[in-house]
Amino acid sequence: MTMNRSLITATRFMCQYGINKAWLIVAGLFISLNVQAQKIEIGAGLGGMLYKGDVSPALNPQFYRPATSLFFRYNATRSFSIRGVGSIGGIRGDDQASRDPFQQARNYSFRTNINEIEVDFEYNFLNYKALPKAKNWTPYVFGGIGLCRFSNSVIRVGGVVTYPLGVGVKYEIKRPWSVGVEFGTRFTRNDYLDGLGDATFGTALTKVTQGNPALNDSYTYTAITLSYTFYRIFCP
């Protein structure tokens, strides 16, 4: 009889121990998920793109075209983040806006549609703290690599690797919402975003009708951003 009671007591102890251990594991996983959730951020940007190349050797605000983007950001640490971005926009240029007589004689204009994806690495100059009453804001720099798909009247469908580089500022207005402003340039090794490369766009090969092969095309993307950080995961 005593042996049976001891066996029952031991069994109950083991069951209770197993239940407590299971709860600890679940609690640990839940805490881990919450910590990871605070690192996840999604957002969107609205702004415009501006071209620099043969038709516009310097950035000209009159060629500004609207653009928009969606992004996913993983805040690995308070200082470093990894971001994936998808953007849609366009660039344009017109020789008639130039004071260069050669460009005016060439009289070339273009519009190019752009779809791009990129992966950036960001560095925050100030710590972005996941605390309830923290006033989070920070300037940051970013750089990465991307792929741009473009089309214009000369190049129907083209693809080029881009090298994004830029700066920004973000501010957490009211947790979990943040706003920001960002300026970045997409550098390329391509001279056909404007449809005007080292070849001519006309039938005669002259210095007036061809582009400058030493000047690769690039474009900027300036945007106001809005993002949401997943500070909390609800247990099902």
- Predicted TM-score (pTM) of this structure: 0.78
State mean pLDDT over 83-95: 96
Q: Are 65 and 220 in contact (CB under 8 A)?
A: no
Model confidence at 17, pLDDT cuts 50, 70, 90, reads very low
Strand partners, 166: 142, 184
Q: Can the peptide bond before residue 164 be classed as cis, meaning omega within 30 degrees of 0? A: no
Q: Three-class SS of residue 74?
A: strand
User: Which of the two residues, 65 and 215, has the higher pLDDT score?
Assistant: 65
Is the pLDDT score of 136 beyond 70? yes
| The pLDDT of residue 110 | 93
Which of 111-115, 130-134, 204-208 has the least mean pLDDT? 204-208
Residue of 230, 226, 229 lying closest to 43 (CA atoms): 226
Is the pLDDT score of 176 beyond 90? no
| The pLDDT of residue 87 | 98
| Dist CA 93 CA 56 (whole Å) | 6
User: Which of the two residues, 206 and 216, has the higher pLDDT score?
Assistant: 216
Q: Strands 65-74 and 177-188, how do they pair?
A: unpaired
Name 71's Cβ contacts closer than 8 Å, sequence gap at least 6: 42, 43, 44, 45, 83, 84, 85, 86, 225, 227
| The pLDDT of residue 132 | 62
| Dist CA 43 CA 32 (whole Å) | 23
CA 216 from chain centre, in angstroms, equals 22
Q: Strands 65-74 and 40-52, how do they pair?
A: antiparallel
Domain ranges of the chain: 1-37, 40-229
What pLDDT digit, counting tens, does each position of 37-52 carry?
568 999 999 999 999 9
Which of 115-129, 192-206, 217-231 has the least mean pLDDT? 192-206
Which CATH number among 3.40.50.2000, 3.40.640.10, 2.40.160.20, 2.60.40.420 corresponds to the domain 40-229? 2.40.160.20
State mean pLDDT over 208-232: 84
State mean pLDDT over 202-222: 71
| Dist CA 136 CA 127 (whole Å) | 8
Model confidence at 31, pLDDT cuts 50, 70, 90, reads very low
What pLDDT digit, counting tens, does each position of 3-16 carry?
455 544 544 544 45
